[in-house]
Structure 1
Amino acid sequence: MRTLGFVAISGLWAILLAAPAVAQSTDGMPSGPFDTFVPEPGFTTTLEETPPDTELVKRLFALGYADQCRLAIESDVLGTEPEVWDLTYRDSYQEADEPDRTFRLYHFNCDAGAYNVISVFLTWDSFSGLAPLSLARPEFDITYESGDFDGDVLDIAYRGMSATNRLVNAWFDPDTGTIGASGKWRGLGDAADYSTWVQRGPVFVLDVFDVDASYDEAVNPWRIVAGGRVLEVPERLPEERFDEPAEDDADGQ
């Protein structure tokens, strides 16, 4: 599975850094319309001082994620119109009178199941052009009582970091520069994982990761990563049961 993910990301990099066979201007840069855009080696497509045409970005997304995001690309269920944000940052070596760096974040729907929507993020800046955004994610082993998924969680052991370019039920908060995701392991949502990544320059770093591995009709996750640091011992967070009334309801409000 990880090999396939690496191939998909590598293939997308090749597409993003390749040149168009059609829709090409005299200076070697692509120009619209882009619905028949097919890249070939030779020139770059998005390394400019200003962001590329969003229609070109949509075409590159469709080419780069043709297999992973087929539901969004080939149907109207999710569509391929991205959410777009223009963000800024400063490099540590910049002089005080230098302007902020700018980069653009794109959020595309990709796939969906009964209770989860999968999406991907792309980024653009004038130094790197358009690129897929990969995000760190911890790998772990879960020990259940009696080895049964329906039993209590006895231990969650951290095994290292991997990376993903597909997020489940993802969102972005431009005010805090935070990407979040929450994947349900079943429809009730009592078993799930929760992640947040925060902006550091033109990249995003893992800030918090919680996992609730128990199928017990309650929200009772374990925190594995806090403040970007892997905890030596996962922290058990307070439990919230689905059958407990909200505080306002209990007060009759």
Structure 2
Amino acid sequence: ITLTLDGRRHVAAAIAGDHDPLGAAEVRPAEAAAVASALATGRTLTLAGAGETVPISLSGAAAALLWIDERQGRLDTATALVRKGTRPASSVPGAAPAPQVIPAPPISQTGFGDTGQTLPPALEAVAAVKACRAETGDSGLSDEVMSARLDASTELWAVPCFAGAYNIGHDWYLTGPGGRNPRAVSLPSATGETGAGTINGGYDPETRTISAFSKGRGIGDCGTASTWTWTGSAFVLSAESSMGECWGVPADFWPTTWRTR
């Protein structure tokens, strides 16, 4: 792929790996900083490849790059993308370490799973669960109950609540043994909002994670992908990426909104 920025050509080399259906490419590392800086003052940008040339709007590029400089503490330094200055690179603060998430050790899942599960009576009695059951009662979705053992005294249950053309929603509950004392799971997002529901969600007992993939449309090129890890006391957000525009971008290349180590 060739980028032409204000008449100057830059080649983006293909990235190795399976990136169907679109493929992926990146500007050579030696040129990346120069290209990023030029975007701030650029007037025209086109991408050319596979016999097609596409114009790209640069509206908002300067503001976005300036925001990056500010967030990274690079304003008025030699390493700034936009507002360069005389301050040395050594004055740029180091990146804060990502939060550390330690999963609880795996535990036997005998009798639990994502098929053939029956909701315990205590869960069936919860008002929100009754509403979900009423919503899904006339479809096969009502059988899509999932369960897991988190520890000797805690169980995890997922209640199917709705289904669309390409999204299936579940509400998640923590309970005592046998489904006693149910309470909604707290699943935080990168924005700080918290809920108990997932879209296209599931639990992996090996990694101790709930994962969800909310699709903005059927091909899954936009939406939000999230992962929460069971630490032994709660599910904490361990990864999130989001793409608000349906532009054909594979989920592997969506902007990361939350990461941990």
Q: Return the TM-score normalized by structure 1.
A: 0.50
Per-residue deviation, 1:68: 5.1
Please say if residues 71 and 111 of structure 1, whose CA atoms lie closer than 8 Å, have aligned partners that are also in contact.
yes
Give me the whole-angstrom Cα distance separating, in 1, the residues matched to 2:121 and 2:145.
12
Give me the whole-angstrom Cα distance separating, in 1, the residues matched to 2:144 and 2:222.
31
Give me the whole-angstrom Cα distance separating, in 2, the residues matched to 1:223 and 1:200.
22
1:1-253 map, 5 Å: 54-61=119-126, 63-67=127-131, 70-72=134-136, 74-80=137-143, 82-88=145-151, 101-125=152-176, 129-139=181-191, 161-219=192-250, 220-227=253-260
Per-residue deviation, residues 203-244 of structure 1 (Å, max 9, x unmatched): 20000010022321121300011017xxxxxxxxxxxxxxxx
Report the residue type matching 1:227 in the other structure: T
Please list every run of 5 or more consecutive structure 1 residues that lacks an aligned counterpart in the other structure: 1-52, 89-100, 140-160, 229-253
Report the residue type matching 1:124 in the other structure: T
Structure with greater helix share of residues: 2
Structure with greater strand share of residues: 1
- Percent identity over the alignment is 22
Please say if residues 173 and 196 of structure 2, whose CA atoms lie closer than 8 Å, have aligned partners that are also in contact.
no
Please say if residues 85 and 104 of structure 1, whose CA atoms lie closer than 8 Å, have aligned partners that are also in contact.
yes
Report runs of 4+ in structure 1 exceeding 4 Å deviation: none
Per-residue deviation, residues 178-200 of structure 1 (Å, max 9, x unmatched): 00000001112111210000001
- Describe the shift of the 1:77–1:71 C-alpha distance in structure 2 as closer, same or farther (beyond 3 A): farther
Give me the whole-angstrom Cα distance separating, in 1, the residues matched to 2:133 and 2:189.
20
Report the residue type matching 2:207 in the other structure: T
Please say if residues 187 and 196 of structure 2, whose CA atoms lie closer than 8 Å, have aligned partners that are also in contact.
yes
- Describe the shift of the 1:79–1:165 C-alpha distance in structure 2 as closer, same or farther (beyond 3 A): same
Per-residue deviation, 1:83: 1.8
- Structure with higher Rg: it is 2
Please say if residues 133 and 142 of structure 2, whose CA atoms lie closer than 8 Å, have aligned partners that are also in contact.
no
Per-residue deviation, 1:58: 4.5
Helix, strand or coil at the partner of 1:225: strand
